[in-house]
C-alpha cells in the first residue's frame, strides 16, 4: 500500500483508477461531472459490476440521477458500501453506489477523503491523490 497514487491520462485523455469493494476490483473513470446534490453518491457502476456487489450493499433504495443532457432524473438502484482506491492507504469511505450504466468515480467520493489532496498536473497529464503532509 502507499500514501499516494499517481494516475496518468490514457490515450483518450481519461483518468482511470482501480477501486476496491469487498475484495473486488473495478476500473473506473474519474468523472468531475458526476456529482450529487445530497453528497451521498460517489460511485456509479455498469449493470454487471453493480450486480456483482449488490449483496454487499446496505440501505438499498432507488435514487434519481441525471444522465448527460437530461432535464428529468432517471430512477436507478443504489446502496451504500465501503469503497477504496486500490493501493492507497486509508482511502476507504462509505458511499452510495448507483447502477449508472458505466463505471465512474465522482466528486462526492473525493469529498470524503478529508485527509487527502488531489493534485492535477496538466502539463504532465497526471492526477496525484496523496495524504496531506
- Three-class HEC string of 56-103: HCEEEEEEEECCCCCCCCEEEEEEEEEEEECCECCCCEEEEEEECCCC
* Mean per-residue pLDDT, 43-63: 94
Q: Residue 105: how many CB atoms within 10 A of its CB?
A: 26
The pLDDT, as a whole number, for residue 62 is 85
Architecture of domain 4-131: Beta Barrel (2.40)
Residue 66 reports pLDDT greater than 90: no
Task: Read off the pLDDT band of 114 (50, 70, 90).
Answer: very high
Closest CA to 63 of 81, 34, 29, 40: 40
The structural domains of the chain, with segments of one domain joined by +, span 4-131
- Do the Cβ atoms of 18 and 25 come closer than 8 Å? yes
Give me the mean pLDDT over the 35-52 stretch. Answer: 91
Whole-number pLDDT of residue 70: 74
Q: What is the pTM of this model?
A: 0.90
Q: What is the pLDDT of residue 5?
A: 96
Amino acid at each position: 500500500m502507499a500514501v499516494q497514487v499517481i494516475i496518468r491520462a490514457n490515450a483518450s485523455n481519461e483518468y482511470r483508477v482501480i477501486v476496491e469493494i469487498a475484495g473486488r476490483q473495478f476500473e473506473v473513470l474519474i468523472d468531475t461531472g458526476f456529482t450529487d446534490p445530497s453528497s451521498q453518491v460517489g460511485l456509479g457502476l455498469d449493470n454487471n459490476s453493480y450486480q456483482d456487489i449488490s449483496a454487499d450493499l446496505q440501505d438499498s433504495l432507488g435514487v434519481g440521477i441525471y444522465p448527460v443532457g437530461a432535464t428529468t432524473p432517471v430512477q436507478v438502484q443504489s446502496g451504500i458500501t465501503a469503497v477504496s482506491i486500490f493501493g492507497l492507504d486509508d482511502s476507504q469511505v462509505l458511499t452510495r453506489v448507483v447502477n449508472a450504466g458505466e463505471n465512474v468515480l465522482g466528486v462526492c467520493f473525493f469529498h470524503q477523503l478529508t485527509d487527502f489532496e488531489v493534485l492535477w498536473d496538466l502539463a504532465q497529464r497526471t492526477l496525484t491523490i496523496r495524504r496531506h503532509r
